[in-house]
Structure 1
């Protein structure tokens, strides 16, 4: 089997479609189907489960996809090992990250990146949910906060200072809280992964001890951009990263309250697959992200990547 066959299989697996893979690769759909059938014959097992509505990886296909990506990455490393580190980035890179992080911290810099590297095929997915890196075809994930257990490799990027934020319209209607006791008369817009089970509370540090102050819920959401919009419309106080809300704070659309009762800084982590090497184009994009967000980050102690 050759590398071109492996690339075709990877694209089908990532997109879940023979037709979309053929369109992106610029080849006939029949060619894509033939390549996958040939690979299945060579490995002696079914790699994809086909139905009239979807194409899904079999358990054997999931293992094969991981190994394919490793081989393609090794080939790209070999081809680019003598190229200058600052050379042009070309090829496909897919990264998933939180919505506001992408919108506020990366968007202002993307035009310069894409202008400098016109051959870069960059895909940014903005999710606040957990994703399957292998099944959904991502090269890396960026996550804020505590990490669930997984088989991914974690690379710390720093941490973001947090704040308690409200709109001027909300403060005009409910008053500005000056102590935690004042929160009894206020409403909270808060992020909740599980909208059924999480209680409304403002989380903060009191004399170095974590504390949760119960509050009346205005709105529970599972999307950071919608939480910000709700806060802007005066629905309640929210807790968010100061860096991802800096534009709104500087324009006066949001105001920080109770600055002495902030959450501890939230860690920002890059999550990578368990591969020996990253493709050079992926490594260069990730280094670019680390560089452009550095002015907004608080430092974290230098550590080696760890599995989480």
Structure 2
């Protein structure tokens, strides 16, 4: 393999923790990848990777070499851009689907038109994403952040609402306070972290009150949860922007507005040990700009 391609392959192997995954990402076969790394180690006179049947991880020398290669590849991309004035390559990000469709996609044609050499791989999901092993450049996540070695940039907060369908309210009545929800039910949204349904949350008298209601339906996706609310299957809480059209056309009705849930923080995360390339920096700056304009500032 050409030397620069070998360095890129080596970095990819360390990032993914796998020869097979890195080979696929770099467009080569596993045997070619194995031979290239063996030749690199032979040329350097040092072992760069610990290999086992379950994982691949860098040696002490390999970790130092990895960090230098990361910096070198990022600097090379910056150098190319300084001459050509253009960005090129693949960007990989992951974001909750509705946020992607309502905020990111409408602004994306202009961004891609300004950077025709870029390709964006946009993943949609609410599961935990291992940015390093999956080769993802950044993710946008809602809610409190668990401790991790990711760098987090707070984008703002999203106002939350409690909603129900007119049909549901006709059957169960309109709730008047969080402590008088007997006879009501919720659509249970299951946390990807705990595997348990999240309680409804209200603010009352300056305090946060959590209420766990019966749920005949448990879901793991925000879009399914919203659809279930429209079908009258229970009370649901979500960012206001998600239900804005439903509230305007009467498909859903806001309830307990005097006891709103706490606003949900929205954050951009990326790996702390990764030298950011020019294309990733430019993309994240753009992402911060368009999302921050659509959400409330950080209090």
TM-score, scaled relative to structure 2: 0.82
Question: Which residues of structure 2 form unaligned runs of 5+?
Answer: none
**Between 65-74 and 201-210, the greater mean CA deviation after superposition:** 65-74
When residues 114 and 195 of structure 1 are mapped into structure 2, their CA distance, relative to the original with a 3 A threshold, is closer
**Between 231-240 and 107-116, the greater mean CA deviation after superposition:** 107-116
Distance in 2, matches of 1:89 and 1:167, equals: 47
- CA deviations 1:205-256 (Å, max 9, x no partner) are 1011111123222333332222222222221111111123334433433322
When residues 37 and 164 of structure 1 are mapped into structure 2, their CA distance, relative to the original with a 3 A threshold, is same
Distance in 2, matches of 1:240 and 1:47, equals: 45
Equivalent of residue 92 in structure 2, options 76, 91, 94: 94
**Equivalent residue, structure 2, for 1:73:** 74
Give 3-state SS (helix, strand or coil) of 1:240's partner: strand
Equivalent of residue 208 in structure 1, options 203, 206, 209: 206
Q: Tell me how far 1:129 sits from its aligned partner.
A: 1.9
- CA deviations 1:61-100 (Å, max 9, x no partner) are 89479634343223223433567xxx64421111122233
**Equivalent residue, structure 2, for 1:113:** 111
Distance in 2, matches of 1:298 and 1:165, equals: 20
**Equivalent residue, structure 1, for 2:37:** 36
Equivalent of residue 151 in structure 2, options 150, 153, 156: 153
TM-score, scaled relative to structure 1: 0.80
- CA deviations 1:255-300 (Å, max 9, x no partner) are 2221111112111111121247421111111122122223321112
| Number of matched pairs | 292
Structure 2 contact 92–135 (Cα < 8 Å) conserved: yes
When residues 191 and 34 of structure 1 are mapped into structure 2, their CA distance, relative to the original with a 3 A threshold, is same
Structure 1 contact 200–215 (Cα < 8 Å) conserved: no
Structure 1 contact 97–125 (Cα < 8 Å) conserved: yes
When residues 266 and 194 of structure 1 are mapped into structure 2, their CA distance, relative to the original with a 3 A threshold, is closer
Distance in 1, matches of 2:138 and 2:236, equals: 28
When residues 40 and 252 of structure 1 are mapped into structure 2, their CA distance, relative to the original with a 3 A threshold, is farther
**Equivalent residue, structure 2, for 1:178:** 176
Aligned-pair Cα RMSD in Å: 3.2
Give 3-state SS (helix, strand or coil) of 1:226's partner: helix
Equivalent of residue 102 in structure 2, options 104, 125, 128: 104
When residues 30 and 11 of structure 1 are mapped into structure 2, their CA distance, relative to the original with a 3 A threshold, is same
Distance in 1, matches of 2:118 and 2:93, equals: 13
Q: Tell me how far 1:142 sits from its aligned partner.
A: 1.5
Structure 2 contact 161–237 (Cα < 8 Å) conserved: yes
Distance in 2, matches of 1:154 and 1:295, equals: 18
Give 3-state SS (helix, strand or coil) of 1:188's partner: coil
Q: Tell me how far 1:203 sits from its aligned partner.
A: 0.6
Give 3-state SS (helix, strand or coil) of 2:254's partner: strand
Q: Tell me how far 1:31 sits from its aligned partner.
A: 4.4
When residues 34 and 200 of structure 1 are mapped into structure 2, their CA distance, relative to the original with a 3 A threshold, is closer
Q: Tell me how far 1:38 sits from its aligned partner.
A: 2.2
Give 3-state SS (helix, strand or coil) of 1:7's partner: helix
Equivalent of residue 281 in structure 1, options 279, 294, 299: 279
Distance in 2, matches of 1:296 and 1:128, equals: 20
Structure 1 contact 139–272 (Cα < 8 Å) conserved: yes
**Equivalent residue, structure 1, for 2:263:** 265
Distance in 1, matches of 2:121 and 2:65, equals: 19
Question: Which residues of structure 1 form unaligned runs of 5+?
Answer: 51-55, 302-308
